[in-house]
Amino acid sequence: MSKDHHKYPDTTEDHSELDVILAQVVAQCSEGKKIDYEYLTKAHIEFMPELGRRLRNLQNLETVVQQFERYPQPELSSDSGENGDEGLLMLQKRLDGYDVLEPIFYGGQGVVYKARQRTTCRMVAIKVLVDGPLASERQRWRFAREIKLGARFQHPHIVTVYESGEVNGREFLAMEYIDGLPIDDYVLVHGLSVHQTVRLFQKVCGAVSYAHQNGVMHRDLKPANILVDDDSQPHVLDFGLAKDIDCEADASEPISIAGQVVGTLPYLSPEQARGDQDRVDVLSDVYALGVVLFHILTGEYPYEIVGSRRQVLENIIDRSPKKLRETLLEVEPSDEYAIAVINDDLEHIVCKALEKDKALRYQSAAAFAEDLERYLSGEAVDARATHQLYLLKKTLRRFRTHVIVGAIIISLLVSGLVGMTVLWQRAEHVAKIAQTGLQMASFLRLGTTHRDEGRTEQGMILFRKVIEIGEFADTTDPSVIRHLYDAHNRLAQVDLKRQDLDSADAHCASAFNLSKNLTLQDPQNLQWQRFLGLSYLLRGQIEIAKKQWAPALESLIQTKQIYAILQVEDPSNPSLISEMAYLLRLIANCHRKLHHMDIAFDHYVEAIDMYQNLSNLLPKVLDYQIEYHRSRGMLAIWHMVQHTNEDNAMAVQIFAVAKRSLQELADSTNRRNYIIDIEAILANIESNIDKLKARIDKQKTS
């Protein structure tokens, strides 16, 4: 096919393969086979998030089927239709004030429907007690308690309860509708880094802390009960198993049965696993949060959950939890970057949350969140000091005889004072380097905040402070070099944006040398490789700003070679794919400026294909759709440069489609940064359309 008649990518998705996968799952369920849902999700990530949503529905349906087999069900009312969801048809006829649209969740206690409230036109979720008139006293009590406890909350990360009532003999509650993914799916689909994952999870801890402060313990914290919306905001929901801390001693509550295990198996605390309801309190929620964090970081659980229910409960009660890094090495041995980021601090934080002895856990969800903030800030964490003391005490008790012998040996070594002094000096040097790294990290974080909030000058002052500290430290420690690289890189980006190209060039050269030295020290480290690639990319961007197209092309090709290696190691990482697409577009621009038109065309098309694939995979991420249309606009400019009637017509067609699609995107979002970006692209398109019209009119008159 010729370039003039290139068929641009079609947005139609083919779900036939997804349907085949789901049919196989249903067949295995009907045969009574155990389904490994997590394996299916990871093995077919190209169908996420739709696959994850359908698999969760299958799991929930299994629960409902088990309940229908265990308890007698009411006969269908005369209102029920012959086809479709009888509960949906009943609600559509009987529930006043709402347009009930579709079922979205089937649980053991209730069914949740998506609906529109007529008076406010807002989308809501309607939860209906599944057993209706035949619900047991405990089921009705739990449902009423969920409504009562949910009404206490006014928090941005906890689902809001709007109203409750009864319809056709079934209790219902109307609550905030969250169009999002469970937190584990969200992390997987969006390819969040460890720091992004921890930052997201920290908000969940804050929401749970708020619930505890309002006298409510959740008791069923798990990824399915933590949805993350399109704005990357988490929402805790489903307080059906929650406990009113203030009414703990109320004997009328038909729930706290001795020996009863309440909650979801993999996320139970040891006291819940033992059925010891008297010892279940807010610290059990802290433990569940620890399991959730472990799971979203590794995709695994801290204990084996395969086997009989009794065996799993024994694992939770008796076995020590797995280590984060060891687990990640088992499941993702190639993810060296994530393994490196999960340092001892994060390892100890998770260990503290998963302590079997409640007295050694974080004593509140707020304390858990605060220690995560210290980790993110590069500060010393409470968990590490506490855990080290605890380990020391256990070690002394276990090896008492060895310790006594060791003490005698140490007393004999006191005479080696000179040797000890050298060791002390080395330790002091290591401590100084660590302190330097903490200072640099703090200034970098604060400088970035100033820059992102528009206080550019203050941000640049802090970045320069990082460079001053790093150069004064006079060390080759990788953490210090990394911070120096970040500071030079960010200063170069700011200078480039301000068109101070000489200063940008100087900082870019420093960042390049630092990243090259890091790569030479550890050639197998993919993180250092990525830094070197970004340095070449920044150099190419500065050369483009100087209109030095040939040197820019050379730098960008170096970046492409490095990114090709990174993509082999992590082919499905959306961030890498997006960066590669952006890089291809820059390369195409350089080739076009150098009049290598065929090569430029091929690179534009490749970039367009990559952005469209990302848009199909993650349709809710507007960035990819915006960049897709920006790339098509650049391809239209390529056609304009050809100066033929056919190319002019093709350019007009591409611009028209991009203009219409971008206007629809702008109407679909209220996020100002997206709207500003879209408006800038639209202005450029309008300008080029005017030029094309003037050219076409001139050709007609000549």
* Domains of the chain, first to last: 16-70 (no CATH), 86-176 (3.30.200.20), 181-248+256-393 (1.10.510.10), 416-548 (1.25.40.10)
Asked whether residue 133 carries a pLDDT value surpassing 90, the answer given is no
Q: What are the angstrom distances between the C-alpha of 465 and each of 210, 217, 273, 436, 569?
A: 38, 45, 52, 12, 36
pLDDT tens-digit series, residues 372-427: 998 888 887 887 665 455 445 545 554 555 556 556 655 555 555 444 444 444 54
pLDDT at 576: 84
Instruction: Kindly give the residue spans of alpha helices, DSSP state H, lying in 453-548.
Output: 456-473, 478-497, 501-521, 526-545
pLDDT at 475: 63
Asked whether residue 162 carries a pLDDT value surpassing 70, the answer given is yes
Which three-class secondary structure state does DSSP give residue 186? helix
Q: Residue 111: exposed, middle, or buried by beta-carbon count in 10 A (0-12, 13-18, 19+)?
A: buried
| Amino acid at site 17 | E
Most confident stretch, 144-153, 241-250, 441-450, 475-484: 144-153
Length of the chain in terms of residues written: 702
pLDDT at 86: 72
* Angle between helix 417-452 and 478-497 (nearest 10): 20
pLDDT at 48: 62
CA 433 – CA 370 distance, rounded (Å): 25
Q: What are the angstrom distances between the C-alpha of 521 and each of 308, 424, 483, 493, 665?
A: 49, 27, 16, 26, 46
Inter-residue contact 688 to 639 (CB < 8 Å): no
| Residue ranges with strand state E in 8-160 | 98-106, 110-117, 123-129
Write down the mean pLDDT value for the chain: 79
CA 189 – CA 124 distance, rounded (Å): 25
Which backbone phi and psi does 202 adopt, to 5 degrees? -60, -35
In which band, very low, low, confident or very high, does the pLDDT at 73 lie, cut at 50, 70 and 90?
A: very low
In which band, very low, low, confident or very high, does the pLDDT at 675 lie, cut at 50, 70 and 90?
A: confident
CA 251 – CA 360 distance, rounded (Å): 30
Most confident stretch, 309-323, 461-475, 585-599: 585-599
pLDDT at 42: 59
| Amino acid at site 371 | D
> What residues pair up with 181 in beta bridges, in sequence order?
228
Inter-residue contact 304 to 315 (CB < 8 Å): yes
Inter-residue contact 153 to 210 (CB < 8 Å): yes
For the beta sheet containing 98-106, the strands, ordered from the edge strand earlier in sequence to the opposite edge, are: 98-106, 110-117, 123-129, 170-176, 161-167
Q: Which of 617, 546, 636, 535 is nearest to 578 (CA)?
A: 617
pLDDT at 98: 92
**276 part of the active site:** no
CA 580 – CA 571 distance, rounded (Å): 11
Longest dimension (CA), the chain: 104
Could you tell me what percent of the chain has a pLDDT over 90?
31
Q: What is the DSSP letter of 277?
A: G
CA 405 – CA 400 distance, rounded (Å): 9
pLDDT tens-digit series, residues 424-481: 445 445 556 666 777 777 788 788 877 877 788 888 888 888 888 887 776 677 778 8
The Cβ of residue 319 has, within 10 Å, a number of other Cβ atoms equal to 12
Q: What are the angstrom distances between the C-alpha of 584 and each of 239, 431, 506, 590, 614?
A: 48, 44, 25, 10, 15
Could you tell me what percent of the chain has a pLDDT over 70?
75
CA 200 – CA 122 distance, rounded (Å): 26
CA 196 – CA 488 distance, rounded (Å): 23
The Cβ of residue 59 has, within 10 Å, a number of other Cβ atoms equal to 14
Give the sign of the dihedral formed by CA 113, CA 116, CA 119, CA 121: positive
In which band, very low, low, confident or very high, does the pLDDT at 259 lie, cut at 50, 70 and 90?
A: very low
For the beta sheet containing 181-182, the strands, ordered from the edge strand earlier in sequence to the opposite edge, are: 181-182, 226-228, 234-236
Q: Which of 227, 228, 255, 230 is nearest to 240 (CA)?
A: 255
Q: How far is CA 312 from the centre of its chain?
A: 28
Q: 290-299, 392-401, 478-487, 567-576 — which is least confidently predicted?
A: 392-401
Among the listed residues 131, 184, 220, 335, the single catalytic one is 220
The kind and range of the H/E element at 174 are strand 170-176
In which band, very low, low, confident or very high, does the pLDDT at 299 lie, cut at 50, 70 and 90?
A: confident
pLDDT at 233: 94
Q: 54-58, 210-214, 226-230 — which is least confidently predicted?
A: 54-58
Residues 6 or more apart whose CB falls under 8 angstroms from that of 268 comprise 261, 288, 313, 316
pLDDT tens-digit series, residues 594-653: 999 999 999 999 999 999 998 888 888 888 899 999 999 999 999 998 888 889 889 999
User: Could you give the dihedral angle defined by the CA atoms of residues 494, 500, 505 and 510, in that order, rounded to the nearest 10 degrees?
Assistant: -50
pLDDT tens-digit series, residues 13-39: 344 566 667 667 766 665 566 666 666
Inter-residue contact 527 to 479 (CB < 8 Å): no
More confident position, 660 or 145: 660
